[in-house]
């Protein structure tokens, strides 16, 4: 493949700089890719600002047509995009393909939404209407764990609302997003979508840029706080989808053999690099040993390897920084609990860690208290469900959580008191484009997806008329 380009003002151009993108399965360079300068970032924002007046005045049907065309081109190029995604991110090719098709489906979903005028009062003396107006230039900043699907949490809603976009993928996973920019260059009007790549040096510049009216950011809580601070001077609108330390509470009436595969999938999908992965399991003492054994068997049986190889179930960690962090957590867990599966670093190139189960560990250990974002799962014993709920809630995070029970009423009574933006019952990590998603506490501000997520890309304007 020829070297990829940035998309700025409808034109494909080289970066003023370049950078290497590493395949985390081999530690070899996938390719050199363009890296934008500060001047190119400014140029992209200026293009988006210039394109905004015309795009915001287009009929919503025209904007929907563009979203549909983007979905079509994603789907038509799914094989190429998925291969790039696996090479830069590490996930198995089947998962990458699912992510690509998922991104197309999210674009299609937003073609079914509208922004109708809501009549609040239509009485004899007055008429009051609520309108949803576009904001302007949106800075969309996407992390490295799901480059395309998380892009599709932001871009279609932003465009449907009449905004223009400057999209910045993560420094370690820019390739599939840049290629998408190339594919849509002739679909979207110039300046409406701009795609740049950086080496973790332009996020703050984009956030603070005076012509950016909203920042939609997905990433760590620490970086989210910096985004919020950068947006504060101009009181920019922000949506922050941040870290989580999701707890799964497994009650004593659960069949471990039935629940374990679902919990394992919820914890280890994408090698645990999921914001809403199961990060902690609280298991009742009655089923604790059996659940630990089932999870350990699943971990031992998992096939890890290069995502391009057939049969691979789990790929590597995406980057060396995260790889080193997870290795440190595992070393500490050897002293804080008992490793019953995994804990092994394969002697091979790549950032591979076998799925690891740690039992006989409890709150206060780093592995329990912190977000590991990797393939290691602590399982904590409890006797009283109320105690388990209190411990699950005793965290600054509040992204997701789950309750597992054969008694739905019993599970629901706990779920409604779990302090998280989403609570699942007898499942975990399920998302859909029509279901709003957002975090509580330090796991985020605002929501994405659904009608509520679309509204976040608008300014409410009330028009009140006397009669």
Known catalytic residues?
A: 241, 275
Which residues, in sequence order, are bridge partners of residue 404? 250
Q: Is the dihedral of CA 75, 78, 82, 84 positive or negative?
A: negative
CA-to-CA distance for 303 and 295, rounded, in angstroms? 15
Give strand pairing partners of 150.
none
Q: How far apart are CA 324 and CA 298, in angstroms?
A: 24
For 330, counting Cβ atoms within 10 Å of its Cβ (0-12 exposed, 13-18 middle, 19+ buried), the class is buried
Helices then strands, counting H and E runs in the chain, come out as 16, 20
Give the integer Cα–Cα distance in Å for 157 and 151: 10
β-strand partners of 19 = 33
Could you count the other beta carbons within 10 Å of the beta carbon of residue 53?
10
Token couple for 89: 């991110």
- Cα–Cα distance, 246 to 106 (Å, whole number): 24
- As a whole number of angstroms, the distance between CA 417 and CA 423 comes to 10
How far is residue 204 CA from its own chain's centroid? 19
Strand partners, 463: 129
Q: Which two tokens stand for residue 106?
A: 């999210």
Strands (E) across 242-323 are located at 247-250, 280-284
Which one, of 302, 279, 319, 282, lies nearest residue 24 by Cα? 319
* Residue 405: C-alpha distances to residues 138, 394, 401, 410 (Å): 42, 21, 14, 7
The neighbour count for residue 96, using CB atoms within 10 Å, is: 29
- Residue 346's nearest CA partner among 74, 4, 27 is 27
Can you tell me the distance from the alpha carbon of 244 to that of 400, in angstroms, rounded to the nearest whole number? 7
Nearest of 429, 407, 425 to residue 416 by alpha carbon: 425
Give the closest residue to 136 by CA, choosing from 47, 71, 217, 9: 47
Task: Confirm if 205 and 231 have CB atoms less than 8 A apart.
Answer: no
């Amino acid at each position: 493949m020829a070297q990829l380009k940035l998309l700025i003002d409808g034109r494909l151009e080289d970066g003023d700089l370049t950078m290497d993108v590493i395949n985390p399965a081999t530690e070899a360079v996938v390719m050199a890719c363009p890296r934008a300068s500060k001047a190119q970032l400014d140029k992209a924002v200026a293009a988006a600002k210039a394109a905004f007046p015309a795009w915001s005045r287009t009929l919503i049907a025209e904007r929907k047509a563009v979203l549909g065309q983007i979905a079509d081109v994603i789907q038509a190029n799914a094989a190429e995009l998925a291969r790039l995604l696996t090479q830069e991110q590490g996930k198995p090719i089947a998962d990458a393909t699912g992510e690509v098709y998922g991104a197309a489906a999210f674009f299609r979903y937003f073609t079914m939404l509208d922004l109708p005028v809501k009549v609040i009062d239509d009485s004899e003396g007055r008429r009051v209407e609520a309108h949803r107006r576009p904001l302007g230039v949106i800075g969309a900043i996407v992390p490295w764990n799901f480059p395309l699907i998380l892009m599709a949490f932001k871009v279609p809603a932003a465009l449907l609302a009449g905004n223009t976009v400057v999209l910045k993928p993560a420094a370690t996973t820019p390739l599939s997003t840049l290629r998408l920019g190339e594919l849509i260059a002739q679909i979207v009007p110039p300046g409406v979508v701009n795609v740049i790549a950086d080496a973790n040096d332009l996020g703050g510049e984009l956030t603070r840029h005076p012509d950016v009216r909203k920042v939609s950011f997905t990433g760590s809580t620490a970086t989210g706080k910096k985004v919020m601070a950068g947006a504060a001077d101009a009181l920019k609108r922000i949506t922050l989808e941040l870290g989580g330390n999701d707890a799964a509470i497994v009650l004593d009436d659960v069949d471990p053999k039935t629940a374990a595969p679902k919990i394992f999938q919820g914890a280890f999908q994408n090698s645990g690099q999921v914001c809403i992965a199961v990060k902690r399991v609280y298991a009742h003492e009655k089923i604790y040993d059996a659940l630990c054994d089932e999870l350990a068997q699943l971990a031992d049986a998992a096939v890890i390897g290069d995502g391009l190889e057939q049969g691979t179930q789990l790929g590597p960690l995406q980057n060396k920084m995260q790889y080193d962090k997870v290795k440190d957590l595992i070393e500490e867990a050897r002293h804080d609990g008992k490793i019953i599966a995994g804990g092994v670093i394969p002697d091979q190139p790549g950032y591979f860690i076998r799925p690891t189960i740690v039992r006989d560990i409890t709150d206060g250990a780093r592995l329990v208290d912190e977000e590991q974002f990797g393939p290691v799962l602590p399982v904590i014993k409890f006797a009283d469900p109320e105690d388990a709920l209190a411990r699950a809630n005793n965290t600054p995070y509040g992204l997701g959580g789950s309750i597992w029970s054969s008694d739905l009423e019993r599970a629901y009574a706990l779920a409604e008191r779990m302090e998280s933006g989403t609570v699942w019952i007898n499942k975990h990590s399920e998302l859909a484009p029509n279901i709003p998603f957002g975090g509580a506490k330090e796991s985020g501000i605002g929501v994405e997806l659904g009608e509520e997520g679309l509204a976040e890309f608008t300014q409410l304007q009330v028009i009140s008329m006397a009669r």
